[in-house]
Amino acid sequence: MIRHLAGLAEVVDDVGKAVSFYRDVLGLPVKHEEGAEYVEVEIEGILHYGIWSRRAAAQAIYGDPEASDQIELGYLLGFEVDSVEKSSQHIKSKSSLIQPPKEEPWGQRTSRFEMPSGQLAEIAETPWARKITRSMETDPPPKEQP
Protein backbone atom coordinates (compact mmCIF):
# COMPACT_ATOMS: atom_id res chain seq x y z
CA MET A 1 0.00 0.00 0.00
CA ILE A 2 2.66 2.58 1.01
CA ARG A 3 5.33 3.32 -1.63
CA HIS A 4 7.47 5.62 0.52
CA LEU A 5 7.41 8.50 2.97
CA ALA A 6 6.80 11.37 0.58
CA GLY A 7 7.04 14.33 2.90
CA LEU A 8 6.72 15.94 6.25
CA ALA A 9 5.09 19.25 7.16
CA GLU A 10 5.13 21.14 10.43
CA VAL A 11 1.73 22.62 11.27
CA VAL A 12 2.15 26.02 12.95
CA ASP A 13 0.13 29.04 14.01
CA ASP A 14 2.69 31.57 12.72
CA VAL A 15 4.30 30.74 9.36
CA GLY A 16 6.51 33.87 9.43
CA LYS A 17 7.97 32.93 12.81
CA ALA A 18 8.61 29.37 11.60
CA VAL A 19 10.27 30.66 8.40
CA SER A 20 12.58 32.87 10.49
CA PHE A 21 13.50 29.90 12.68
CA TYR A 22 14.31 27.52 9.82
CA ARG A 23 16.13 30.20 7.79
CA ASP A 24 17.85 32.32 10.46
CA VAL A 25 18.44 29.83 13.27
CA LEU A 26 18.96 26.57 11.37
CA GLY A 27 20.41 28.19 8.23
CA LEU A 28 18.19 26.25 5.83
CA PRO A 29 17.00 27.58 2.46
CA VAL A 30 13.27 28.37 2.57
CA LYS A 31 11.06 28.91 -0.48
CA HIS A 32 8.81 31.60 0.97
CA GLU A 33 6.52 34.29 -0.36
CA GLU A 34 5.30 36.94 2.06
CA GLY A 35 1.87 36.01 3.38
CA ALA A 36 2.06 32.40 2.12
CA GLU A 37 0.30 29.80 4.27
CA TYR A 38 2.48 26.94 3.02
CA VAL A 39 6.21 27.11 2.37
CA GLU A 40 8.93 24.59 1.57
CA VAL A 41 12.18 24.11 3.45
CA GLU A 42 15.07 22.52 1.57
CA ILE A 43 16.69 19.81 3.68
CA GLU A 44 19.20 17.43 2.13
CA GLY A 45 17.95 13.84 2.19
CA ILE A 46 14.26 14.80 2.57
CA LEU A 47 12.10 14.73 -0.55
CA HIS A 48 9.65 17.34 0.77
CA TYR A 49 9.54 19.32 4.03
CA GLY A 50 6.92 22.01 4.45
CA ILE A 51 5.58 24.50 6.94
CA TRP A 52 1.77 24.66 6.89
CA SER A 53 -0.38 27.19 8.69
CA ARG A 54 -3.00 25.67 10.94
CA ARG A 55 -5.71 27.74 9.18
CA ALA A 56 -4.63 26.52 5.72
CA ALA A 57 -4.59 22.92 6.98
CA ALA A 58 -8.14 23.37 8.30
CA GLN A 59 -9.22 24.81 4.94
CA ALA A 60 -7.68 21.88 3.04
CA ILE A 61 -9.06 19.19 5.34
CA TYR A 62 -12.40 20.55 6.55
CA GLY A 63 -13.09 23.21 3.92
CA ASP A 64 -13.14 25.86 6.66
CA PRO A 65 -10.16 27.86 8.00
CA GLU A 66 -12.19 28.55 11.15
CA ALA A 67 -11.95 24.83 11.99
CA SER A 68 -8.28 25.34 12.90
CA ASP A 69 -8.99 24.34 16.52
CA GLN A 70 -9.52 20.81 15.16
CA ILE A 71 -5.97 20.75 13.76
CA GLU A 72 -3.19 19.77 16.16
CA LEU A 73 0.07 21.68 16.08
CA GLY A 74 2.93 19.36 15.23
CA TYR A 75 3.75 17.32 12.17
CA LEU A 76 1.86 15.79 9.27
CA LEU A 77 3.39 12.74 7.59
CA GLY A 78 2.70 12.26 3.91
CA PHE A 79 2.82 8.79 2.38
CA GLU A 80 2.87 8.16 -1.36
CA VAL A 81 0.54 5.36 -2.49
CA ASP A 82 -0.36 3.82 -5.84
CA SER A 83 -4.07 4.44 -5.34
CA VAL A 84 -5.59 6.89 -2.87
CA GLU A 85 -9.02 5.29 -3.46
CA LYS A 86 -7.91 1.75 -2.56
CA SER A 87 -5.65 2.83 0.29
CA SER A 88 -8.27 5.09 1.86
CA GLN A 89 -10.83 2.24 1.69
CA HIS A 90 -8.35 0.00 3.50
CA ILE A 91 -7.64 2.62 6.18
CA LYS A 92 -11.35 3.29 6.62
CA SER A 93 -12.01 -0.45 7.13
CA LYS A 94 -9.46 -0.54 9.97
CA SER A 95 -9.63 2.99 11.40
CA SER A 96 -11.26 6.26 10.36
CA LEU A 97 -10.62 8.94 7.78
CA ILE A 98 -10.70 12.65 8.56
CA GLN A 99 -10.85 13.64 4.89
CA PRO A 100 -12.07 11.30 2.14
CA PRO A 101 -10.17 11.21 -1.16
CA LYS A 102 -10.15 14.50 -3.04
CA GLU A 103 -8.27 16.32 -5.76
CA GLU A 104 -6.19 19.23 -4.42
CA PRO A 105 -6.00 22.52 -6.37
CA TRP A 106 -2.38 21.69 -7.31
CA GLY A 107 -3.44 18.33 -8.87
CA GLN A 108 -2.39 15.92 -6.13
CA ARG A 109 -4.99 13.38 -4.94
CA THR A 110 -5.08 13.05 -1.13
CA SER A 111 -6.90 11.56 1.82
CA ARG A 112 -6.09 12.36 5.44
CA PHE A 113 -6.40 10.40 8.66
CA GLU A 114 -5.29 10.51 12.29
CA MET A 115 -2.29 8.53 13.55
CA PRO A 116 -2.46 6.74 16.93
CA SER A 117 -0.66 9.75 18.47
CA GLY A 118 -3.43 12.07 17.30
CA GLN A 119 -1.21 13.67 14.64
CA LEU A 120 -2.43 14.06 11.07
CA ALA A 121 -1.16 11.93 8.23
CA GLU A 122 -2.01 11.81 4.56
CA ILE A 123 -1.84 9.39 1.72
CA ALA A 124 -1.29 10.90 -1.70
CA GLU A 125 -0.99 10.10 -5.37
CA THR A 126 1.67 12.32 -6.86
CA PRO A 127 2.92 10.48 -9.97
CA TRP A 128 4.96 13.44 -11.25
CA ALA A 129 6.94 13.57 -7.98
CA ARG A 130 7.73 9.87 -7.57
CA LYS A 131 11.19 10.06 -9.05
CA ILE A 132 13.76 10.74 -6.35
CA THR A 133 15.64 13.83 -7.47
CA ARG A 134 18.31 13.94 -4.77
CA SER A 135 20.96 11.25 -4.59
CA MET A 136 21.01 9.47 -1.28
CA GLU A 137 23.86 7.19 -0.27
CA THR A 138 23.78 4.66 2.52
CA ASP A 139 27.43 3.65 2.17
CA PRO A 140 30.37 5.97 1.68
CA PRO A 141 31.54 6.14 -1.94
CA PRO A 142 34.52 3.92 -2.81
CA LYS A 143 37.91 5.54 -2.37
CA GLU A 144 39.65 6.50 -5.57
CA GLN A 145 42.82 4.57 -6.33
CA PRO A 146 45.92 6.74 -6.89
44 within some domain: yes
pLDDT by residue, tens only, the chain of 146 residues: 888 888 899 999 999 999 999 999 999 999 988 899 999 999 988 888 999 999 999 999 999 999 999 998 999 999 999 999 999 999 999 988 899 999 998 889 999 998 887 888 999 998 877 665 555 454 555 666 66
58 within some domain: yes
146 within some domain: no
Span between the terminal Cα atoms of the chain, in Å: 47
DSSP letter assigned to residue 10: E
For residues 112 and 110, give the distance between their C-alpha atoms in angstroms, rounded to a whole number: 7
Number of domains in the chain: 1
For residues 105 and 97, give the distance between their C-alpha atoms in angstroms, rounded to a whole number: 20
For residue range 56-87, what is the model confidence (pLDDT) as tens digits?
999 999 999 999 999 989 999 999 999 999 99
83 within some domain: yes
141 within some domain: no
Check which CATH number belongs to the domain holding 19 and give it.
3.10.180.10
Q: Which residues pair with 38 in a beta bridge?
A: 52
Q: Which residue range forms the structural domain that includes residue 69?
A: 2-129
* Residue 56 CB neighbours (<10 A): 17
